A = this chain, B = another copy of it.
Amino acid sequence: MSIKSVASENQIRLARYAKAMGHPVRMYVLDLISKQSCCYSGDLSEELPIAKSTLSQHLKELKAAGLIQGEIEAPKIKYCLNKENWKEAQQLFKSFLGL
């Protein structure tokens, strides 16, 4: 029997979002994107002291968690919030935190 049979769907989704937010680099990216609506990974790569391959992996994880989405704007990629899921995350955290 797994934890998934005991925890609620919302708890599991919340844990998924929280996990994606659980790293300073990803938090930095999310915070930036949520404040300015979008950004380019090239810019991030210049600001952050990590290899671009590492950044790419973090962005991939944020995408996999559904928090952001990338849009090709050749030759760059523009990253924005995934608005639908962001709303869900807002709702879930709000309810969980009792806000």
Q: Interface of A with B (CB < 8 Å)?
A: 1-8, 11-12, 14-16, 18-28, 30-31, 34, 47-50, 89-90, 93-94, 96-99
Contacts and interface: CB of A to CB of B under 8 A. Distances in A.
Given A21-B15, A27-B7, A99 B99 contact: yes
Contact of A3 (B25, B31, B98): B25
A31 B96 contact: yes
Contact of A27 (B12, B26, B49, B99): B12
Contacts of A27: 7, 11-12, 14-15, 18
Given A11-B31, A19-B18, A49 B1 contact: yes
Nearest to A14: B27
